[in-house]
Amino acid sequence: MIRTLGLLMLLSALCCSLADNVELLRTKRGTRFYRVHCVDSETSAVHGFGDTWLRWRGQRVEYCRCALRGRELCHIVPVINCYVSQCYNGGTCKEAVYTSDYICQCPPGFSGTQCEINTNEKCVVEQGEGYRGTWSISHSGAECINWNSTSLRGRRFTATKGYPSSLGLGNHNFCRNPDQDSTPWCYIYKGTQIVWEFCSMPKCPEDKYQKCVLGSGQSYRGTASVTKSGSRCLPWDSPVVKRKLNNAWRANALEQGLGSHSFCRNPDGDEGPWCHTYKNMKLTWELCDIPKCSRRPAIISTLGPRAPTTDNNNKATCGQRLDNTLNRPAFRMFGGRESDITEQPWQAAINVYQARHRKHFHRCGGVLIDSCWVLSAAHCFEDNDKAEKLEVILGRTFRKQNSTSEQIFKVEKYWIHEKFDNESFDNDIGE
C-alpha cells in the first residue's frame, strides 16, 4: 500500500511539473509522448520544440529557442540589415549576424513577423481575400486557433504549408480567407473537435469606385485579380516575382497598393492596372479586365501630385535628370531599355565590409550633394559600423557589376541626424 501511494505521488508530481504549454498526446495504443511548444511571452506566437526566432527587446534584438518543457531561452544578438528584405508594408528587415533568422521593424499600423498584419483594418472588403486585420472571433463567439498550432497538422490551410504569407496565414490566430470563400474564417475548438467557422466581422461600406478604374488606375485599390485574357493573377509576394521590379517587398509597396494579395495594380504608371501571371507556362504580365469609371468621385485618395515639368528642349540642366522618356517604352519585362548611369550621375551606392565574407555588401543608396558629401538615410547606419568599413561608389550602373566609369571612395566620417528616432523614423537623415 505504501509503495502504491508513493507511485501515485510520483506521478502526480510529474504531471504538476509540466508547463501549461506542453501537450500530452497518445500516438498509438499503449504509448504516449510529450509534444512541446512555446508561446512567446511578448507576441503570443506559437513555436515548436527546437524552433528559433528573433524578437525585439526594447531597441535590441533577442535570439530565442524553444527548449524542453516549453521554456523559451533568449539572449541578445547583433543584427544587420537584411541582404534581401522579407518585410511587407515598408518594414525594415534585420537579420542575425550568425544565423538565418530575421526580424522586421514595422511602421505604425502594422505588426507581425513580416509586418503583414494591418492593425487598422477593421472591416472586410467584398469576400475579404485581402483582409489582413486582427479579428479573431468566430460567429459562435469562439476564439480562433493559431494557424501555426501543431493541432492543425494535416489541415489544408496552416502557417506551415506552401507559401502561407501569400494567403495572409502566419503565426497568429486572425481570421483569413485563403480559399476564396464568401468571407474570412478560422479553425476553432468545438468540444473536443477542431472545425472551421466563418468570422463575425463587419463588412466595409461598398465603394463603387473600387470596381472601376479612374484614368490609368494608379489609385485603384479594388480586388479584381483576372487579366484580360482570363488568366489568374499571381500574388505580389509570390516567390517567382521576388526578383521583379514591382513586388510586395518594395520599400514603397504600401503606397503602391502591393502586398500579400493578387489584386491588379498599376505601380509603374502603365496604361492600366496589371499583374504578373503565367501564360503558356511562362511568367509574364498582362493588363487586367477592369471597366473604366463613368465619372470621377468627389474625393479621391491618390498617391500625390506629380513633379512639375518644364520645357528645356530636352537639354541637360545641372541637378536635373535628362528627360529621356519620350521615345522609351514602359519598363516591365519586355520592350524596356536599360538606363545608363550618366542619366542620373548623382546616384551613389554605399557598401559595408563584412569580415565574415571578406568583401563589401550593398547597404543603402545615396545622393551626391557636393564633391565630398553624400546624403543618405540615418537607419542605414544604425549598426554603428566604423567609417573605415564603408565605401561609396559613383558611376556604377549595376549594383553587383563593375563599370569602367565608376569611382570608389573610402569614407572618412559620417553623421546621423541628432534627432533621428529609429522607432518612428523621424529625421531619418545621415551623411
d(CA 286, CA 347): 32
Same domain, 98 and 131: no
Same domain assignment for residues 198 and 125: yes
* 174 in Cβ contact with 137 (< 8 Å): no
* Band of residue 379 on the pLDDT scale cut at 50, 70, 90: confident
Residue 211 and residue 200 share a domain:
no
- Domain around 175: 121-205
Q: Which of 167, 190, 205 is the last residue of a domain?
A: 205
Q: Tell me the pLDDT tens digit for each residue of 318-357.
A: 444 444 444 444 444 444 455 555 667 778 888 888 776 6
Helix ranges, 291-345 (H): none
* Torsion angle of C-alpha atoms 291, 296, 302, 307, degrees rounded to 10: 110
Whether residue 241 sits in one domain with residue 184: no
| CATH classification at residue 135 | 2.40.20.10
In a domain, 415, yes or no: no
Last residue of a domain, one of 205, 230, 262: 205
CA angle 325, 327, 329 (to 5 degrees): 80
Residue 387 lies in a domain: yes
Q: Are 430 and 378 in contact (CB under 8 A)?
A: yes
Residue 226 lies in a domain: yes
pLDDT digits (tens, 9 = 90+) for 54-69: 888 888 888 888 888 7
> Per-residue pLDDT averaged across 306-315, rounded?
42
Beta strand residue intervals within 40-168, DSSP E: 46-48, 52-57, 60-66, 72-77, 79-81, 92-96, 102-105, 110-111, 117-118
Residue pointed to by grid coordinates 501564360: 279
Q: Look up cell 473537435; give the residue.
A: 193
| Per-residue pLDDT at 197 exceeds 90 | yes
Residue 36 pLDDT grade (very low, low, confident, very high; cuts 50, 70, 90):
low
In a domain? residue 9: no
**Domain assignment present for 86:** yes
Per-residue pLDDT at 199: 92
Output the CA torsion 217→330→91→248 (10° steps).
Answer: 70
**Cα R_g (the chain), whole angstroms:** 26
Same domain flag for 127 and 194? yes
Instruction: Give how many domains the chain has, as a whole number.
Output: 4
Q: Grid cell 498599376 — which residue?
A: 266
Q: Residue 322 falls within a domain, yes or no?
A: no
222-254 per-position pLDDT tens digit: 888 899 999 999 999 888 888 888 888 887 888
Residue 87 falls inside a structural domain: yes
Tell me if 274 sits within 8 A of 334, measured CB to CB.
no
State the CATH number of the domain containing residue 394. 2.40.10.10
In a domain, 24, yes or no: no
Strand partners of residue 364:
350
